[in-house]
Amino acid sequence: MKQAVDVLVERLRGLEPRIALVLGSGLGNLAEKVEGAVRIPYGDLPGFPVGGVTGHAKEIVAGRFAGVPVLMLSGRSHYYERGDAAAMRPAIEALAGLGVTHLFLTNAAGSLDEAMAPGSVMLLCDHINFSGSNPLFGEPTDARFVGLSEAYDKSMRDALKRATAKVGEKLHEGVYMWFSGPSFETPAEIRMARIMGANAVGMSTVPEVILARFYGLKVAAASVITNYAAGMTGGELSHEETKDMAPLGGRRLAALLEAAIGDMV
């Protein structure tokens, strides 16, 4: 972690971001809005995971977004790639070591609510970990017993909600259920998820939330809805659909973040 922090400090040239954003599938265009961008490939940062999912750029983009110093992590590693729920631990530990205090996570997700169509944005108010895994497996200290009663920071969420009036974009709010992937869910699993109280399903984010809280960061997250979940339309799901539809909701989320980020930190 210290080596990665040293590289970041050197490359950032005095920039001291307090907020970082993790960009999910199809959301890499958000990084194009960063002014004075400094791009740091994950491969240059010791310990950083280099994920293998198409649509993820695998780099940090640092600079100013809406006037606020930020780090954007364009791409993440997923549990389903190697069966490692803690794949993002070195990255989040490095963010905390750099002095980042707030983390905003984004993802592409499937909707369980017919009123939340593809292209919508859902703010996470809670999550359900249905993967059977946890990024703190093997942590030897009592710090592993992380409280998650208020995992998603209210002040960060409220800032995004206030932004809806400024930009005229609708924002849904709901519970995200983490499935391990990489196969998509079955219609029966989606019926179960709905009964359990989920509003959207996906294959990421929850490990980063747990890790961020472990390191003391404040967290908020939003899903870009790319499809209706299995069994809702009669069609088959695909990663290509995710990549095609993510930019639609991504533009909405980018506008909301641009209006809200100054109030989040």
CA 65 to each of CA 30, 43, 69, 109, 194: distance values in angstroms, whole numbers, following the listed order: 9, 24, 6, 24, 36
Q: Where do the domains of the chain lie, and which CATH numbers do they carry? A: 2-264 (3.40.50.1580)
* Cα–Cα distance measured from residue 50 to residue 195, given in angstroms and rounded to the nearest whole number: 36
* Cα–Cα distance measured from residue 14 to residue 9, given in angstroms and rounded to the nearest whole number: 7
Structure tokens, 190 = 């989606």
Distance between alpha carbon 157 and the CA centroid of its chain, in Å?
Answer: 14
* Cα–Cα distance measured from residue 187 to residue 82, given in angstroms and rounded to the nearest whole number: 25
Is 221 strand, coil or helix?
strand
pTM of the model: 0.94
In this structure, the number of other CB atoms found within 10 A of the CB of residue 27 comes to 27
Spell out the per-residue pLDDT of the chain, length 265, in tens.
899 999 999 999 999 999 999 998 767 788 889 999 999 999 999 988 875 555 556 899 999 999 999 999 998 899 999 999 999 999 999 999 999 999 999 999 999 999 999 999 999 999 999 999 999 999 999 999 999 999 999 999 999 999 999 999 999 999 999 999 999 999 999 999 999 999 999 999 999 999 999 999 999 999 999 999 999 987 776 667 666 777 788 889 999 999 999 999 9
CB 104 within 8 A of CB 152: no
